[in-house]
Amino acid sequence: MVYQEHRVLLCLAFGYIASGGLVLTALGRPWPIAFLNPWFALVWIGTSILWLGWLYLRSPRHLRQALSRPRLMSAIVVPFLLVPTQITFQALKQSMAPVIGFHADLLLHRIDVALHQGMAWTWFEPLLMNPSLVRALDLLYMSWFGLLFLFMFWASWSSRQLLRQRALVALLLMWIGAGTVTAWVTSSAGPCYYQHVVSAADPYAPLLNRLDVIGAQGGALMARLNQAGLWEFHRHDTWAYFGGISAMPGLHVGIAVLFAVVALQRSKALGVLLIFYAALIQVGSVVLAWHYAVDGYLGAVLAIVCWRVADTLTREQKVVRLSAEYRR
């Protein structure tokens, strides 16, 4: 039953892991494959226990439904797939620059300037004059990782079988199609590293200087600390679980758009809220010098494409109905 429900997800995940492993091995690149991360497992189990306890307080019936075999197996399959998929993704991401370099930054910069009739970040100069707003964006940008965890947690436990299948497949397609294939084709480092990868005057220096001034006034921004750390890992070609530099396409924006698209299937209010969140992530990606604006635009488009492809893939498979499906 688990294979029947998740066969699209399983085939995509294991196909990606196997092909990624072959590519990494052929290139002589690190691939520290594993199927279990103790810290991730601890957080996942702890969160599951808290959620199941809350269900019990609501109604023992809800708890029994959540512990039905199909839903329980789904909550096991998803984290089991997540660790090796993420490791393969990170290994491919961290191999991109050493193998082919960052060749698209100058082109992306020129497209950005042409599209916005100037530097995209200058559209937000009034915001950059307010350190409190910049720090709020910095915190919001980091909150994306927590929201990603909650999204995967919901998709693994949800009683909405068709929706969770489509959401999980769309998310995996984003990692494969956008985060790996498109990223390698458009290999770029982003505005914060422009000075390191393009032999020309750095047009992003005023933005970086402004961010550093804000950091000097009240503690370094998380974005600037992370940017420095990622560059050190890249410079020494050191493996890191969340390492790797890749600007195009903007996965932060793309996956935030995917959050909103999925939420709209459940609640219009929540969907609208997450659309606003995705817009703020787009602004943050530019203001914090992580991305060219066009990175986020393409990421958003790819999210819609992946959602539609996931709909086709999951609609054509034989659906296994849950015996105790209900709306939470």
pLDDT value, residue 322: 40
Structure tokens at 272: 């609208």
Distance CA 137, CA 173 (A): 27
The answer to whether the beta carbons of residues 44 and 52 sit under 8 Å apart is no
pLDDT tens, position by position, 281-319: 999 999 999 999 999 999 999 999 999 999 999 886 544
pLDDT in tens, 151-188: 999 988 888 888 988 999 999 999 999 999 999 999 99
pLDDT of residue 316: 63
Q: How far apart are CA 107 and CA 103, in angstroms?
A: 8
For residues 98-118, average pLDDT? 95
What's the farthest any 2 CA atoms get from each other in the chain?
Answer: 65
Residue 317 is predicted with a pLDDT of 58
Band (pLDDT 50/70/90 cuts) for residue 321 is: very low
pLDDT, tens digit (0-9, with 9 covering 90-100), for 181-236: 999 999 999 999 999 999 989 999 999 999 999 999 888 999 999 999 999 999 99
Portion of the chain with pLDDT greater than 70, in percent: 95
Is residue 1 pLDDT above 80, yes or no? Answer: no
Residue 92 in contact with residue 23, Cβ under 8 Å? yes
User: 326: pLDDT confidence band, cut at 50, 70 and 90?
Assistant: very low
CA 122, 144, 221, 199 torsion-angle sign: negative
Annotated domain spans of the chain = 2-316
Decide if pLDDT at 254 tops 70. Answer: yes
Positions of E strands within the chain: none
Residue with tokens 């290139």: 27
Band (pLDDT 50/70/90 cuts) for residue 241 is confident
- CA 327/CA 196 separation, integer angstroms: 51
> Among residues 174, 131, 216, which one has the least CA distance to residue 308?
174
Average pLDDT, the chain: 91
Residue 319 confidence (pLDDT)? 46
pLDDT value, residue 324: 38
